[in-house]
Amino acid sequence: MSVVEQYARAHIVTDADLVEEEQTAVPVVLRYDPDDDPRAVRVGLPGTHEWTIARALLEQGLRAPAGSGEVRVWPCGRVQAIVEFHSAQGVSVVQFESKTLMRFLRRTYTATAQPVGN
């Protein structure tokens, strides 16, 4: 099985006053390695922040609010989704285009599809 890696752009949501260049989208890496954990995906935020979340949670959160504890996902309007990461250092709220996450999830299921018959 192959690793799926997709580069995306997302917005970090904050209540701080940001200058215009800080309001632009930031690079994010979405990664799925079925040999490491077939039920999880990784989300790499700028810097050294990388989160591991359940693939099913990400999928559920695109349709309705899902999750508790460290990771929560929910739709935001018709075309966006929010992923909220909680840690001892605080909360990171990241806004994605839903289609980006859906495309990534489709690719993860394609990568794990078993051939029919041998």
**77-102: per-residue pLDDT in tens?**
989 999 999 888 788 889 999 999 99
Q: What is the pLDDT of residue 69?
A: 84
Residue 104: count of CB within 10 angstroms of its CB: 21
| Amino acid (one-letter) located at 41 | V
Q: What is the pLDDT of residue 21?
A: 45
Q: What is the pLDDT of residue 87?
A: 84
**20-30: per-residue pLDDT in tens?**
445 578 899 99
Q: How far apart are CA 80 and CA 90, in angstroms?
A: 23
pTM of the model: 0.83
**40-49: per-residue pLDDT in tens?**
999 998 876 8
